[in-house]
Amino acid sequence: MTDVIKFFTRRQGKKRASLTDWISYGFLFLGFLIIFLPVLWLVMNSIKSQFLLQKYDTNFLPMDYERVARATTYGPDGKDILIMKDLEPWVMFWKNLDDEERAEKDVVSYIKNFTGNEYYALRSHFGLVSVFAKDLIADQNLPEWLIKYPSMFPSAKKDYDPQSIVDSLNDEDARLLSEYLGLKPYKGNGFTAQILISMPDPETGELIEYSVSRINPTKDTVNARLVSDPKGGITKLPQNEIIINKNLKPSWINYTDPLTNKALGSFDAVRCLNNSVFVTIVATIITLLINSMAAFALSKYRFNGQIVFFVIILATLMVPASVLIVGIFKMVTMTGLSGSLWGVIIPGAATPTGVFMLRQYMLTIPDELLEAARMDAASEWTIYWRIIFPLALPAIAVLGILSIIWRWNDLILPMIAVSTTKAAYTIQLCLLDFNGEYLAREHYALAMTVVSLIPTTLVFVFLQKYITTGIASTGMK
């Protein structure tokens, strides 16, 4: 710790900080911020709830709003607007769930906890109207055409008279069928999540709760609706007087759900991470073995075409990886590795950078050691494994670290090799997969992005000495 303080308070000779010191530290701090802020932003956003992310919340901390649902129902009494508090998040975001996720919830028994307009609002929110209506039609032996009626053209609808059937039913069933058929005065019910705010009453000072759909910080007022009297219409509240009920509420489920496999849907973060770990470790081991053997041959043996081989290997450094995509794809497909993790591991196993780096290092190992080993009756394999490999360990460690970083962060090879097989997705592919679907799951995506940064960060923190050596000696990172 004292070392750290000593390091950060170093000065240019004199006892008092000079202008140079201020400028240097200022510059370093600025550089630090430029690099670090985006990462910090990512981390902070990764613990924001899905709701906040969808509202493009710009707070630094995960300050969650208190949320309410605003529902609109239409009935015999006309339009009713109601505010429902204390609903569970999955109810609020039912529309964002996919079929599998919906199937896990027992909504039919859930809505039995509600009555009146709240019941009707939730019933249509969960899409249960058509389900119940079809049951009703079947139970009561009502005419079959009723089922098709909602999707008929208006001209066709004229041939039928649903109203008479509705009238023959009791009130509840009549309402259900009317909602299903879209008969007046029943219209589709509305249901949205809103933000709960409050403002002190100008006279009594008592806190009055309002519900707003969004808070735009650039405007002076917010359009709010009284929670106690939602039908009373919209009032404009001065932005500076309202109290936004925000709680610091990190959304840890962003992390725990995917990692405990509770994340709704097909996304399996644990499997993706396992795949990535497997690919990274196996590919790195293979890379180190193959590259060090190639480097051994190129640095310590004399054979015909040695220079040609070396030049060809170096020449592949000049070919951009993106040019090879089609070639690698064909290779992977034709060898039957497509969809298998080996299709990710094998094509990248030999890297020209690695061969070059190790060769240059091995050139510095004296030939006399090899000759001594030959005099000691060592086979060529023994020389490689017991002499060259241990002596080249510093360079091999550098390559190992680089390989871990490359493999962990690699997106192109997995896309080429396993994009058709979800079971073989690596973490980077999984993260990409979030954006491709209809469903917004940024909260999981952000959280898993942070998780995917951990291994490379650890590698950087603990092995940065080797990494700087590696960058210095190869110019690559």
Partner 1 sequence: MANLKLIDIKKSYGKTEVIHGLDLEVLDGEFCVLVGPSGCGKSTLLRMIAGLEAITEGSILINDEKVNDVSAAKRGLAMVFQSYALYPHMTVRQNLAFGLENLKLDKDDIEQRINKAANQLRMEDYLKRRPGQLSGGQRQRVAIGRAIVREPSIYLFDEPLSNLDAELRVATRVELKALHARLGNTMIYVTHDQVEAMTMADKIVVMHDGIIEQTGSPLDLYNRPANLFVAGFIGSPKMNFLDSSSLPEDIKKLAPKGAKTFGIRPEHLKIQDQNSLPLDVKTVEQLGSDSYLYGATIDNQEISIKLNTQTSIKGGESIKVGFDKDNTHWFDEKGVSL
Output the CA–CA distances (angstroms, integers) from residue 273 to 155, 249, 309, in the order listed: 57, 27, 37
Residue 368 contacts partner 1 per CB under 8 A: yes
CB 178, CB 146: distance < 8 Å: no
Cis bond before residue 414 (omega within 30° of 0):
no
Q: What is the dihedral of CA 114, 116, 117, 120, to 10 degrees?
A: 70
Beta strands at 246-248 and 63-75: parallel, antiparallel or unpaired: antiparallel
One-letter identity of residue 68: V
Residue 307 contacts partner 1 per CB under 8 A: no
User: Between 382 and 421, whose beta carbon lies closer to partner 1?
Assistant: 382
Beta strands at 190-200 and 221-226: parallel, antiparallel or unpaired: unpaired
Closest CA to 194 of 82, 61, 60: 82
User: Between 233 and 390, whose beta carbon lies closer to partner 1?
Assistant: 390
Options 17, 136, 281, 378; binder of partner 1; rule CB under 8 A: 378
Residues 6+ apart with CB under 8 A from 345: 279, 282, 283, 286
Options 12, 20, 364, 379; binder of partner 1; rule CB under 8 A: 379
Cβ at position 461, least distance to partner 1 in Å: 27
Cβ at position 279, least distance to partner 1 in Å: 31
Residue 396 contacts partner 1 per CB under 8 A: no
Cβ at position 306, least distance to partner 1 in Å: 16
Q: Which stretch binds partner 1 (CB under 8 A): 138-146, 264-272, 381-389, 411-419?
A: 381-389
Residue 374 contacts partner 1 per CB under 8 A: yes
Lay out the site mask for partner 1 across 318-357 (x = CB under 8 A, - = otherwise).
Answer: ----------------------------------------
Cβ at position 374, least distance to partner 1 in Å: 5
Number of residues that bind partner 1 (CB under 8 A): 17
Closest CA to 148 of 181, 188, 182: 181
Q: Which stretch binds partner 1 (CB under 8 A): 8-16, 237-245, 295-303, 372-380?
A: 372-380
Residue 387 contacts partner 1 per CB under 8 A: yes
Question: Per CB under 8 A, which of residues 136..195 are in contact with partner 1?
Answer: none
Residue 385 contacts partner 1 per CB under 8 A: no
Q: How far apart are CA 110 and CA 14, in angstroms?
A: 73
Cβ at position 393, least distance to partner 1 in Å: 8
Residue 375 contacts partner 1 per CB under 8 A: yes
Q: Which stretch binds partner 1 (CB under 8 A): 80-88, 233-241, 341-349, 377-385?
A: 377-385
Q: How far apart are CA 332 and CA 337, in angstroms?
A: 5
Closest CA to 62 of 293, 302, 253: 253
User: Between 238 and 366, whose beta carbon lies closer to partner 1?
Assistant: 366
Residue 116 contacts partner 1 per CB under 8 A: no
CB 86, CB 67: distance < 8 Å: no
For the chain, the C-alpha Rg in angstroms (whole number) is 33
Q: Which stretch binds partner 1 (CB under 8 A): 84-92, 116-124, 166-174, 374-382?
A: 374-382
User: Between 78 and 390, whose beta carbon lies closer to partner 1?
Assistant: 390
Output the CA–CA distances (angstroms, integers) from residue 439 to 67, 195, 396, 411, 429, in the order listed: 21, 22, 44, 22, 17
Cβ at position 379, least distance to partner 1 in Å: 7
The full DSSP string for 301-313 is ---TTHHHHHHHH
Cβ at position 372, least distance to partner 1 in Å: 4
Helices (H), 383-441: 389-391, 393-409, 412-418, 427-436
User: Between 387 and 395, whose beta carbon lies closer to partner 1?
Assistant: 387
Options 315, 371, 437, 458; binder of partner 1; rule CB under 8 A: 371
Output the CA–CA distances (angstroms, integers) from residue 115 to 122, 194, 223, in the order listed: 10, 21, 29
Longest CA span, the chain: 107
Options 248, 308, 377, 461; binder of partner 1; rule CB under 8 A: 377
Residue 373 contacts partner 1 per CB under 8 A: yes
The binding site for partner 1 (CB under 8 A) comprises 366, 368-369, 371-379, 382, 386-387, 390-391
